[in-house]
Amino acid sequence: MSLTETSARRAPVARLALPPWARFLLGRLGQALLVMALVVIGNFVIMQMAPGDLVTVIAGGADMTQEQMADLRARFGLDLPLLVQFWNYVAQLLTFDLGYSYRMNAPVWEVLSARLPTTAALVVLSLLFSVTIGTVMGVVSARRAGTLTDMGINAVALVLYAAPSFVVAMLLVLVFSVKLGWFPIAGLTTVSAGYTGWALVKDMAAHLVMPVTALCTFYVAIYARLARSTMLEVMDQDYVRTARAKGLSETRVIYVHTLRNALLPIVTMAGLQVSTVLGGAVVVETVFGLPGMARTAYDAVFQRDTTMLLGVMFVSSLAIVIVNLAVDLLYTVLDPRVSLK
């Protein structure tokens, strides 16, 4: 064998060179697809394990024979083998078809697309205010550690943490709607007023004040405690003491050198709590009569509308996966030490 042939055999195979950010995105997208595949399987299995079905609910309000119920199951495809039903469901998802709700007599996506903005606004505003207010409380508490201010903030956080969201919601309605009349009791808009433009935006904002407050109180306490503990931990690091020794102002040390690193656990918690905030939105939307996706899921449970439930769970899971992907990208902005490799 010649030297040329040996060198040719040992030559490494050229690989497609991708920039670090592209490899990072491809890796995270692959993980997201795997998670969504497991979610689809899990949701379908859970729905099949639930007692009763849509036909049972329909038959409960009408005098139907077994033959009529069998005909309905055949019409809805509920008499097919489970694997066939699952394959049909996956085939629909691949074509972006979430199915048809026979209880609401409309396509699932048509219903959810009309109600998703309400839930999205409620969840996003609640997370935004809870993270902002909780972080400010935590920073102030950490800077005043051991003082009356620190103890007062901790006491407020403890009260907010112990108060259930449905109790807070009913108290808000009783005080600010029934007694004072400052905010509307229920709904998203004042239908009879016929507002348009900025007047409609103000009306919707007034309707959302109490629901957002009721939903975010619990999470304000969590972020306040988390921000306090992480700030105290970071403030004890060597580089913070070095910054103080260089003569930097305390404000610059706190908000430039300390807070940026202390935000990493807070961002992580915010990404993980999107699902719990969605769960809390079910209670809040029910109390305040908001036409949102969470309340639609609540109604679908009692109506045994499995198609609607599967659609809600798929859309919610997709939103959670996207949020956590955004959190991974945000890490690289908050902390340059986090690499995209």
In the chain, domain spans: 21-101, 114-338
At the top level of CATH, the class of 114-338 is mainly alpha
User: In angstroms, rounded to a whole number, what is the distance separating the alpha carbons of residues 187 and 330?
Assistant: 35
pLDDT by residue for the chain (341 residues), tens digit each? 555 555 545 555 445 567 666 777 788 888 888 988 898 898 888 887 777 666 776 666 556 677 777 777 777 777 777 888 888 888 888 888 888 887 788 888 888 888 888 889 888 999 999 999 998 998 888 888 888 988 998 898 888 888 888 888 888 888 888 888 888 887 777 766 666 777 778 878 888 888 888 888 888 999 999 988 888 888 877 777 787 787 777 777 777 777 777 888 888 888 888 888 888 888 888 888 888 888 888 888 887 788 888 888 898 888 888 888 888 777 777 666 665 55
Question: Residue 47 corresponds to which tokens in the numbers above?
Answer: 């729905």
Q: Does pTM top 0.75 for this prediction?
A: yes
Distances (CA, A) of 304 to 97, 134, 293, 312: 20, 39, 16, 13
What digits encode the pLDDT tens for the residues 70-110? 777 777 777 777 888 888 888 888 888 888 887 788 888 88
User: In angstroms, rounded to a whole number, what is the distance separating the alpha carbons of residues 299 and 224?
Assistant: 34
User: In angstroms, rounded to a whole number, what is the distance separating the alpha carbons of residues 86 and 148?
Assistant: 60
Question: Residue 9 corresponds to which tokens in the numbers above?
Answer: 């055999």
What digits encode the pLDDT tens for the residues 237-258? 777 778 778 777 777 777 777 7
